Amino acid sequence: MRLSTWFGTGVTIIAAVGGGLLFGPLDVAGANRDAGGRPTLTERAYCGRASAKDSHAPRAASAGLHQDVVVAVSRTALIRIDAAGVVRAAATNTGCAPRAGDDFYVIAPDGSINAARAETFAKQHWVGNFKTPGEFVDQHTHA
């Protein structure tokens, strides 16, 4: 095989893969909109099922020398608001949009963090891609 043929094939493969890596994320905004251009909600597949917090069943004890350690991480929602109290962004540690059962905390414009009741946000229409835990998802551009 000639070097020019191999080099040309290599460039084509790199361009295809690199182009996918480079241009793939450009459609993220479009992926979070329905056919009418309205914002949608994207969550992990398990978000519609009972949460891990609610589904732990006790296990039968087994014989032998061992110790079980159970660690529970509370489902948490961080909500950024502006000076008027309007929700600007939200992040969770679950891969799901904020929901009842989460521990809610509001981040004020001055950076202070205060606990909030889930009922405060019960009528909030969450939009955007919440699949990445810990990542704030813009809410104000979806009005």
State residue 88's pLDDT score.
97
Q: Is residue 36 part of a domain?
A: no
Structural domain containing residue 15: 1-31
Asked whether the predicted pLDDT for residue 50 surpasses 60, the reply is no
Q: State whether 26 and 77 are in the same domain.
A: no
Task: Tally the domains of the chain.
Answer: 2
Question: pTM of this prediction?
Answer: 0.63
Confidence of residue 7 (pLDDT cuts 50, 70, 90): very low
State residue 121's pLDDT score.
95
Q: Is residue 122 part of a domain?
A: yes
Say whether 30 sits in a helix, a strand or coil. helix
CB 32 within 8 A of CB 25: no
3-state secondary structure labels for all residues of 78-136 = EEEECCCCCEEEEEECCCCCCCCCCEEEEECCCCCEEEECHHHHCCCCCCEECCCCCCC
